[in-house]
Amino acid sequence: MASTHPPSPSLVEQGKGSERMGSHDAPHASYYSFPRSAWERKWWQMTTTLSSSLTVFLKDFKSEIRTRYALNALLMFVVTTISIILFALGNENASTDILCGVLWVIIFFSSMAGLSRTFVSEEERGTVMTLQLIASPMTVYIGKLLFNLALLTMLNVVTVVLYSIVIPNFIIQTYSIFILTIFFGILGFAGASTILAALIAKAGSKGTLYPVLAFPILLPLLMTVINATKMAVEGEPFTQSLEMFQILLAYVIVIMTLPFLLFEYVWRE
């Protein structure tokens, strides 16, 4: 026979309490269901990648400050090369073509002396597998690219300042052309150097292979920045250099885009 007693007050209160709890938890759960749209997911992925890339950059930066391997190599090469050029020129007045070419030759070989360590140092310390496990390929590439950009910026500033002091005939007259040339040169050198450093990291002859691979890739960039620097020294108007900057912009776009497509295969193999 069915019971006709009313339900216990405690059971009713528990049911109401669970209903109240469920009603309060519903918006709380929907609040934490982030990201909720495709745009939010893309934004979250982008910010996460940039944050992780900054962590990789800071790791390399702190390691470089502690060891000073690349910094010492870059600075010593710049100072030694400028001193040799100063003694070789003597009292002779070199032409603008020679002075501009020598400036970018110094920058090229100085960057070859220091930037090749970007991924070689990871191989020597045995941290490549750790990076592959905890970071995505794009995170590693962007972090290394930022580190090379910082090194190249420091290298170019020091080289230009010392070169202008030591070589009295090297006088910049159109600063807008020269600053943009340095800017595109840094981007081109950093983009090419980063992907090449990843390619030669596992090779046996890392020191000789790096400049051999880099020279044909960087030759179009070198020729263009030398011509643009010549225009800046000779005082050409900015409108006359637009063709050079179009070439530099196209080169930078290509050299920055290809590593984003290829780096994952280079990094995983």
What pLDDT digit, counting tens, does each position of 39-55 carry?
Answer: 777 777 677 778 888 88
Burial class (CB in 10 A: 0-12, 13-18, 19+), 105: middle
Q: What's the rounded Cα separation, in Å, for the pair 191 and 115?
A: 11
Sign of CA dihedral 235, 239, 244, 250: positive
**What local confidence, expressed as pLDDT, does residue 121 receive?**
74
- CA distances in angstroms from 223 to 45, 119, 185, 215, 217, listed in the order given: 39, 27, 11, 11, 11
Which range is least confidently modeled, 92-101, 127-136, 165-174? Answer: 127-136
The whole model's pTM is what? 0.77
Strands (DSSP E) found in 186-251 = none
Q: Is it the case that residue 144 has pLDDT exceeding 80? A: yes
For the CA atoms of 57, 62, 65, 68, the dihedral, rounded to the nearest 10 degrees, stands at -70
Provide the token pair at 122: 């990871």
